Amino acid sequence: MRRETQNKKFDKNKWNPRYLLYCELHGFKNNPEGMRIHDKNMTNFIAWNHKMISKFQQKNGLHSGSLLDHEKYDRWLIEQIKEN
């Protein structure tokens, strides 16, 4: 569901790539500022990312705790966004 129009001027290098995926999932692709305004804070993103890390660890038979393979997690996260 697209809730905001795309912001063609935004600089994706200024934003956390995982936050951009969160924005895309919630209908704010290329508009992280719109997502930030919608959420009013970063708490929802932090909770979502924590939940996704837990799912990733369970799927890969890892114990909860520190995320050791960030690249593998990021690839997995991208796949999860594509599936939704």
DSSP states of the chain: ---S---TT--GGGS-HHHHHHHHHTT-TT-HHHHHHHHSSSHHHHHHHHHHHHHHHHHTTPPSS----HHHHHHHHHHHHHH-
Q: Sketch the domain layout of the chain as residue ranges.
A: 1-84
Please state the pTM of the whole predicted model.
Answer: 0.81
State residue 3's pLDDT score: 57
Least confident of 41-45, 46-50, 60-64, 73-77: 60-64
